[in-house]
Structure 1
Amino acid sequence: MHRPRRQQLVAAVTGALLALGVAFAAPASAAPRSAPTPLVVNARWGGHCTFDRVVVDLQGYVPEVAVTQVPELVYDGSGKPVPLPGTHFLEIRLHPAAAHDEAGQSVYKGPQLVQLNLPRLKGLAMTGDYEGYVTFGTAFTTQPQYSTFTLHDPERFVLDISHPNVC
């Protein structure tokens, strides 16, 4: 009568030991590693014959980026309006991302606020670096038609705003 119970106990212990052995035998590289948060180090712009361009330079990798039309630009945290001319605005939001290092020192070397006179792009502002999000705002006097893509080596996010040929 004790044999079936004893066999069940031995089977349970053996199964537990095997499970532990498999877990201990797994290579360390199989454990997921999280990459460091990418750093936003610059933003720049340029005018071309058929488009205006905004480029956000990063160290690390290009995180998820959301580009959203918004009714106005505000600074993250304070909610204060961003003083850029325009009637149409795009918000560029990178996450996860930071424009500061672990000591809290800024690594971002680009403009905080700049008014432009390109065919479509009238202004660019860094509007936030808060809790894993870095945000920029762009200003336009007409509804922007845009496309986005990423480039690598070095890592960049690109926003192109189309306009009629000016060349």
Structure 2
Amino acid sequence: MPFPRTTRNLAVSALALAGVLTAAIAPAQAATTAATSCEHVCILDARTGGHPDYDRLVLDLTDNVAPPAVQAQVSPDGSYTPGASDETRHLAITGKSYLLLDVYPAEARSSGPNAYTTPTVQPVSLSSLKGVQMTGIYEGHIGFGLSLGDYTRYQVSTLTAPNRIVVDLYH
């Protein structure tokens, strides 16, 4: 038995409305997805570990693009200048010396699925590593300061699968 004309018209209208709503929602979902992904690699967290011959800092990264470059510089007093500021600051955790890292290009978000989840100042009780601090975010540069105990040398590596930056501080 065929549907009455009124029921058929309602069904056609409902299908048309569903198509319009789907077309309107799809761009909004695409915009949300684009907003949650990182243009550059995102730094997700900083974790540390002690080993018999060295202490290690690992910065976990998103896998959406190639890992960033990292420049390291020893600082005798832990002073740094964040971003475009003229103000000199000092790392919050005291050490015998300090290692400053500049990660570029990278992002560190405060919220969302790719947020940086570690406290910005993280005390550590290892032989060579005493603390890790995010020192600033400026135009694709993310700064980190490492407060050091006794160490003989350091090595910075960038690894893939998964993406991460590894800093080894040898006793």
Shorter chain as denominator, the TM-score bin is 0.5 to 0.7
**2:133 pairs with 117, 125, 128, which one?**
125
Percent of pairs identical after alignment?
32
Q: CA deviation at 1:74?
A: 3.3
- 1:38 paired to 2:34: no
Q: Call closer, same or farther: CA 1:128–1:104 in 2, change over 3 Å.
A: farther
Q: CA deviation at 1:106?
A: 7.7
Which sections of structure 2, spanning at least 5 residues, go unmatched?
1-37
Describe the shift of the 1:75–1:115 C-alpha distance in structure 2 as closer, same or farther (beyond 3 A): farther
Distance 1:41 1:73, change over 3 A: farther
In the superposition, the TM-score normalised over structure 2's length comes to 0.66
Q: Which residue of 2 aligns with 1:142?
A: 150
Gaps of 5+ in 1: 1-34
Provide the rounded CA distance (Å) in 1 between the counterparts of 2:152 and 2:68.
23
1:111: how far off? 2.4
> What is the number of residues matched between the two proteins?
128
The 3-state SS of whatever aligns with 2:91 is coil
Cα displacement (A) at 1:67: 0.9
Deviation of 1:141 after TM superposition, in Å, equals 3.0
State the alpha-carbon separation in 2 of the partners of residues 104 and 155 from structure 1: 19
Counterpart of 1:31 in structure 2 is: none
Structure 1 runs (4+) greater than 4 angstroms displaced: 103-106
* Displacement after TM superposition at 1:139 (Å): 0.8
Shift of residue 114 of structure 1?
Answer: 1.7
Deviations 1:88-109 (A, max 9, x none): 10011101111028x9998211
Give, in angstroms, the shift of residue 143 of structure 1: 5.0
- Once the two structures are TM-superposed, the CA of residue 110 in structure 1 deviates from its matched residue by 1.4
Aligned residue in 2 for 1:54: 57
Preserved contact between residue 88 and residue 144 of structure 1 (Cα < 8 Å):
no
Once the two structures are TM-superposed, the CA of residue 51 in structure 1 deviates from its matched residue by: 0.6
How much has 1:87 moved relative to structure 2? 2.4
Matches of 1:109 and 1:141, distance apart in 2: 25
CA distance in 1, matches of 2:81, 2:43: 17
Question: How far apart are the structure 2 equivalents of 1:105 and 1:128?
Answer: 20
